[in-house]
Amino acid sequence: MNQEVPIAVVGVAGRMGRMLVDAVAEAEGARLCGVTERPGHPWVGRDLGEALGGAPIGVKVEDEPLEVFARARAVLDFTAPVATVAHAELAAQARLVHVVGTTGMAAADDARLDAAARHAVVVRAGNMSLGVNLLVELTRKVAAALGPDYDIEVVEMHHRHKVDAPSGTALMLGEAAAAGRGVELGQVADRGRDGQTGPRAKGAIGMAALRGGDVVGEHDVVFAGPGERIILRHVATDRMIFARGAVRAALWGQEQKPGLYAMRDVLGLG
């Protein structure tokens, strides 16, 4: 009997979708059982291998997630908020592990993911790499150690195609910095300064987003104090770091009870 966990990839034509297919293929204990794209996408109905410009691999690109989910035990979802909330309901019905990398979700979308997590395992993170999740822990500790004399700024840069800002990672880092200080990010975030801003508010956590070229993802957390600056930095050079994290989460989730989990749970970071 085949013991490999059957995994579905939604949004397979996307920058991350293609990486996720490779990450499933290289992972021990996992196999690709189906892929989807948005209805009307030119890849729908084609063999995935041929759509990718290679030889056929016997996996057809589909546009009915429910049919694909029926064959799966986990789904990897790096698509768009409207698609991800729809997938969450279907994945919960099918009791699949839903690994959500999609960023730019609104509060109403968060509530729908929370509802789905009452019935199924949902692993959600704005960044699935080991390095960023370690940086999140470091940020919380440094923010707690330094206190309010050090101004915190989170600066991120991504490729020109990214549609949401600040990045999911920047929000994770901002939340960690706020948690280190015992406050909520929503109460102290200073996003998108422009014009006559006045001096910096004490205790603010600044967030700035740069967009351009093919930058995979770069994040700095700057602690600017009297006479010195500490800068914690993560530079992603290959999207496979996110894809491998997602597959790891899908396999880890097979043994968990329904609920909403983060990558720090998967990675055992506490």
Ligand X SMILES: NC(=O)C1=CN([C@@H]2O[C@H](COP(=O)(O)OP(=O)(O)OC[C@H]3O[C@@H](n4cnc5c(N)ncnc54)[C@H](OP(=O)(O)O)[C@@H]3O)[C@@H](O)[C@H]2O)C=CC1
- Return binding residues for NADP(+): 38
Distance CA(14)–CA(2), nearest Å, equals: 29
Which residue among 11, 34, 81, 126 contacts ligand LZUJQKHR (CB under 6 A)?
126
Position 124 contacts ligand LZUJQKHR (CB under 6 A): no
Give 119's DSSP letter.
T
Can you tell me which of 4, 6, 15, 134 binds ligand X, judged by CB under 6 A? 15
User: In the set 57, 83, 146, 222, which binds ligand X (CB under 6 A)?
Assistant: 83
> Binding pattern to ligand LZUJQKHR, positions 165-194, x when CB under 6 A?
--xxx-------------------------
At 136, list the tokens.
């999140």
What is the C-alpha to C-alpha distance for residues 261 and 113, in angstroms, rounded to an integer? 11
Q: Can you say which residues are annotated as belonging to the binding site?
A: 11-16, 37-38, 101-103, 125-128, 159, 168-169
Q: Which of residues 100-129 bind ligand X (CB under 6 A)?
A: 101-104, 125-128
Q: How many CA atoms lie within 13 A of 15 on its CB side?
A: 16
Residue 86 φ/ψ, nearest 5 degrees: -65, -45
Q: How far is the CB of 7 from ligand LZUJQKHR (least distance, A)?
A: 20
Binding at 80: pick from ligand X, ligand LZUJQKHR, none (beta carbon under 5-8 Å per type): ligand X
Q: Which of 87, 158, 219, 234 is catalytic?
A: 158
HSE of 130 in the Cβ direction (CA atoms, 13 Å)?
A: 7
Single out the residue of 8, 10, 33, 48 in contact with ligand X (rule: CB under 6 A).
10
Catalytic residue list contains 219: no
Residue 36 binds to ligand X (criterion: CB under 6 A): yes
Q: What b/e sequence results for 189-199 when a residue is b if at least 16 CB atoms lie within 10 Å of its CB, and e otherwise? A: bbeeeeeeeee
- Residue whose CB is nearest to ligand LZUJQKHR in the complex, by number: 217
Q: Where are the alpha helices (DSSP H) in 157-233?
A: 168-180, 185-188
Structural tokens at position 183: 């406050």
Q: Decide: 131 and 241 in contact? Cβ < 8 Å.
A: yes
Please give the positions annotated as active site.
Answer: 158, 162
